[in-house]
């Protein structure tokens, strides 16, 4: 008699890794990754806004308060995904959407709910710190860092990470082919008539699932 752990070890020692195949990322859900995947570029790739709001120079509103609000002129809008040529000048701001590229000379984002506006005039009633509400390039991960480890089952989380790594196809281990043989004279398949003393073959379907 051997222990359960020893039995598992003997089975594992007798197993060989299945061949590796490259398959499209879209077909890789529930497969097993066959090699480490590393980031080829910083994450995020560029400085971007973490909020919908206004990007500005923090120094322009450093003395803003309820009693002495600061008014800046909004000179345009930067949407997510836009390669905008706008920049932030002294005494001005730009409306910016979440995920949008931070423009030159902008060093702080004030959430829209902390402001009020009328036309192109935006009112600020409190100061903001440099870097506020900005996600800096590479602050999550740097290029060259391992993103997904070899042997990882490709679940929805890993699937998304592989897409982040720009993997259009991924190396995975081929799946083993397993046959299931359920025996017993008393077993009757679904859809067949029952006989005295017989039972439905329910365990076979449970194990297949």
- Percentage of the chain beyond pLDDT 90 is 78
Q: What pLDDT is recorded for position 28?
A: 96
Q: Is the pLDDT of residue 188 over 90?
A: no
Q: What pLDDT is recorded for position 184?
A: 84
**Averaged over 55-78, what is the pLDDT?**
98
pLDDT band at 203 (very low <50, low <70, confident <90, very high): confident
Q: What pLDDT is recorded for position 97?
A: 98
- pLDDT tens across 5-61, in order? 999 999 889 888 789 999 999 999 999 999 999 999 999 999 999 999 999 999 999
pLDDT band at 187 (very low <50, low <70, confident <90, very high): confident
Judged by average pLDDT, the poorest of 104-118, 156-170, 181-195 is 181-195
Query: Phi and psi at residue 14, in whole multiples of 5°?
Result: -85, -10
pLDDT band at 180 (very low <50, low <70, confident <90, very high): confident
Q: What pLDDT is recorded for position 120?
A: 96
Residues in the chain: 209
User: Read out DSSP for 149-162?
Assistant: -TT-B--HHHHHHH
Q: What pLDDT is recorded for position 185?
A: 83
Give per-residue burial for 48-63: e unless 16+ CB within 10 Å, then b. Answer: bbebbbbbbbbebbee
Q: Is the pLDDT of residue 138 over 80?
A: yes
**Averaged over 54-78, what is the pLDDT?**
98
Contact 35, 22 (CB under 8 A): no
Look up the pTM and report it.
Answer: 0.73
Contact 136, 25 (CB under 8 A): no
> To the nearest whole number, what is the mean pLDDT of the chain?
94
Q: Is the pLDDT of residue 209 over 80?
A: no
Q: What pLDDT is recorded for position 139?
A: 96
Which has more confidence, 40 or 183?
A: 40
Domains observed in the chain: 17-42+146-173 (3.90.105.10), 48-135 (2.170.190.11), 178-209 (no CATH)
């Amino acid at each position: 008699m051997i222990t359960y752990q020893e039995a598992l070890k003997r089975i594992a020692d007798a197993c060989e890794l299945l061949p590796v195949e490259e398959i499209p990322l879209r077909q890789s859900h529930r497969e097993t990754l066959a090699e480490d995947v590393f980031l080829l570029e910083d994450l995020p790739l560029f400085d971007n806004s973490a909020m919908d709001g206004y990007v500005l120079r923090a120094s322009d509103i450093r003395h803003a308060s309820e009693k002495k609000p600061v008014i800046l002129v909004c000179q345009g809008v930067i949407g997510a995904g836009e390669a905008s040529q706008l920049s932030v000048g002294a005494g001005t701001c730009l409306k910016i959407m979440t995920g949008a590229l931070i423009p030159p000379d902008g060093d702080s984002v004030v959430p829209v709910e902390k402001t009020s506006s009328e036309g192109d005039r935006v009112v600020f009633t409190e100061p903001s710190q440099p870097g506020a509400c900005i996600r800096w390039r590479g602050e999550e991960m740097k290029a060259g860092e391992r993103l997904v480890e070899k042997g990882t089952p490709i679940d929805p989380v890993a699937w998304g990470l592989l897409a982040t790594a720009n993997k259009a196809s991924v190396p995975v281990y081929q799946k083993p082919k397993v046959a299931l043989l359920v025996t017993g004279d008393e077993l009757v398949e679904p859809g067949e008539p029952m006989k005295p003393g017989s039972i439905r073959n329910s365990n076979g379907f449970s194990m297949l699932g």
